[in-house]
């Protein structure tokens, strides 16, 4: 039986360049309407017991070629358990080698998180006591942009995930954070919900997730560059969320992402903005120190330089929301590579690692709510 390779499913992305026996040359399709190429997700059928060599020949020209150094692709023989594949990069071609145990194997840049699972998460959390779910607006493809809200405090905490749709670790992070937040026996969750009203949008870029994009929405717009003055015609996701933020105000903001190149968990805060107040700077530092205590994966030695974002920096959510609302605003980044501070030779940085970090971040959010410079 000849190999069959396709990405004809939600979130799929790959193009076949050549197929010869157990070897395939492949290319990553750019985001719909956008220039970015990095996310891949595809399946191989007729694969059981065959020593596959899968070559992504476009890797050297991808958006983040440094992201392939010391990177290992994720593979699953059953669609449920994902492990690291034998992966090497020569500066031009990313080569993945794997011998599947089953007829169908899945390969991906990171473990996928489908919209069905997202909907199940929303429904499960919305059924917990004290939680409400409401729709803030619609994406370009007509999908509901939903927020989960809980807590009775006077301060407002906003948390977003997956502005960049290919950063699926943010969805796994959400599972851990929301599970802990709704645990009635968790004293930290109870304290946080007493101190604040939490507004959580687990998946911002639904259209990009469905289309198999790395960063862009349905029109190829990078949503995390639109927060200064979003256009509802091409970035309705940001426009809808920002309108809701204006109604409530924002005291603490957390934006959850993944980074292609750096093998670390780190933050980028509004404290690097020269217009941030002493109270904002102190709040980011409290977040940082609390997360250092709560998570062995988090570190502070490596991260983005203050100049990150360049001319577009004022449209990044953390910068724009910090400036508009005077909020303690933080971007959390997780790696596509394994995390050097908390490595896992079997799975690398994984859904379970992301979920653990989500739970740990509650301590950092709680610390950020404290007052004082």
Number of separate domains in the chain:
2
Considering the domain architecture, whether residues 88 and 103 belong to the same structural domain is answered as: yes
- Alpha carbon distance 330, 324 (integer Å): 14
Question: pLDDT confidence of 10, banded at 50, 70, 90?
Answer: very high
What SS3 class is residue 243?
helix
Has residue 247 been placed in a domain? Answer: yes
pLDDT at site 307: 85
Question: pLDDT confidence of 372, banded at 50, 70, 90?
Answer: low
Considering the domain architecture, whether residues 142 and 286 belong to the same structural domain is answered as: yes
Kindly report the pTM of this predicted structure.
0.98
Considering the domain architecture, whether residues 98 and 159 belong to the same structural domain is answered as: no
| Residue range 38-60: mean pLDDT, rounded | 98
> Quick check: 310 pLDDT over 90?
no
Considering the domain architecture, whether residues 176 and 298 belong to the same structural domain is answered as: yes
DSSP 22: T
Considering the domain architecture, whether residues 121 and 159 belong to the same structural domain is answered as: yes
> Quick check: 131 pLDDT over 90?
yes
Which residues are annotated as catalytic? 333
Residues 6+ apart with CB under 8 A from 271: 280, 281, 284, 285
Has residue 313 been placed in a domain? Answer: yes
pLDDT at site 373: 53
Considering the domain architecture, whether residues 223 and 283 belong to the same structural domain is answered as: yes
| Residue range 264-289: mean pLDDT, rounded | 97
pLDDT at site 268: 97
Domain of 92: which CATH number?
A: 2.60.40.3120
**CA dist 316 → 164, 186, 269, 322 (Å):** 12, 33, 11, 10
- pLDDT tens-digit readout, 135-185: 999 999 999 999 999 999 999 999 999 999 999 999 999 999 999 999 999
pLDDT at site 2: 86
pLDDT at site 265: 98
> Quick check: 70 pLDDT over 70?
yes
Considering the domain architecture, whether residues 137 and 263 belong to the same structural domain is answered as: yes
Has residue 126 been placed in a domain? Answer: yes
Considering the domain architecture, whether residues 91 and 156 belong to the same structural domain is answered as: no
Domain coverage including residue 31: 4-108
Q: Among 58, 86, 108, where does a domain finish?
A: 108
Has residue 305 been placed in a domain? Answer: yes
Considering the domain architecture, whether residues 170 and 310 belong to the same structural domain is answered as: yes
Percent of the chain past pLDDT 90, that is, above it, reads 97
Domain of 349: which CATH number?
A: 3.40.630.10
Residues 6+ apart with CB under 8 A from 161: 170, 171, 173, 174, 201, 202, 203, 204, 256
Considering the domain architecture, whether residues 142 and 104 belong to the same structural domain is answered as: no
Bridge partners (DSSP) of residue 16 are 26
- Alpha carbon distance 165, 25 (integer Å): 25
The average confidence (pLDDT) of the chain is 97
- Residues counted in the chain: 373
Has residue 145 been placed in a domain? Answer: yes
Has residue 373 been placed in a domain? Answer: no
């Amino acid at each position: 039986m000849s190999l069959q390779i396709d990405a004809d499913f939600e979130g799929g992305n790959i193009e076949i360049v050549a197929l010869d026996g157990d070897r395939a040359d492949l290319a990553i399709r750019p985001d719909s309407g956008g220039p970015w190429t990095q996310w891949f997700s595809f399946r191989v059928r007729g694969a059981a017991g065959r020593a596959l060599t899968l070559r992504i020949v476009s890797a050297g020209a991808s958006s983040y070629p440094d992201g392939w150094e010391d990177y290992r692709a994720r593979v699953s023989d059953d669609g449920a358990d994902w492990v690291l594949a034998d992966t090497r990069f020569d500066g031009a071609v990313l080569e993945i080698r794997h011998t599947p145990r089953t007829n169908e194997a899945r390969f991906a840049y990171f473990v996928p998180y489908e919209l069905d699972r997202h909907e199940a998460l929303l429904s499960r959390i919305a059924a917990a006591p004290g939680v409400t779910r409401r729709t803030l607006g619609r994406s370009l493809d007509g999908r509901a942009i939903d927020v989960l809200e809980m807590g009775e405090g006077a301060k407002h905490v906003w948390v977003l995930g997956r502005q960049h749709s290919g950063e699926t670790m943010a969805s796994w992070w959400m599972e851990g954070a929301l599970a802990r937040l709704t645990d009635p026996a968790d004293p930290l969750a109870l304290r946080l919900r007493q101190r604040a009203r939490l507004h959580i949008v687990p998946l911002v870029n639904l259209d990009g997730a469905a289309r198999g994009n790395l960063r862009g929405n349905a029109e190829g717009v990078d949503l995390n560059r639109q927060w200064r003055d979003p256009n509802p015609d091409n970035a309705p996701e940001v426009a809808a969320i920002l309108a809701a933020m204006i109604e409530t105000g924002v005291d603490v903001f957390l934006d959850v992402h993944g980074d292609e190149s750096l093998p670390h968990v780190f933050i980028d805060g509004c404290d690097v903005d020269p217009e941030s107040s002493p109270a904002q700077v102190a709040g980011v530092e409290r977040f940082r120190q609390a997360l250092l205590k709560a998570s062995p994966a988090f570190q502070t030695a490596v991260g983005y330089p203050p100049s990150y974002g360049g001319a577009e920096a004022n449209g990044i959510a953390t910068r724009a929301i910090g400036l508009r609302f005077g909020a303690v605003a933080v971007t959390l980044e997780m790696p596509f590579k394994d995390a050097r501070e908390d490595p896992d030779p079997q799975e690398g940085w994984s859904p379970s690692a992301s979920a653990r970090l989500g739970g740990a971040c509650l301590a950092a959010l709680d610390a950020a709510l404290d007052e004082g410079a």
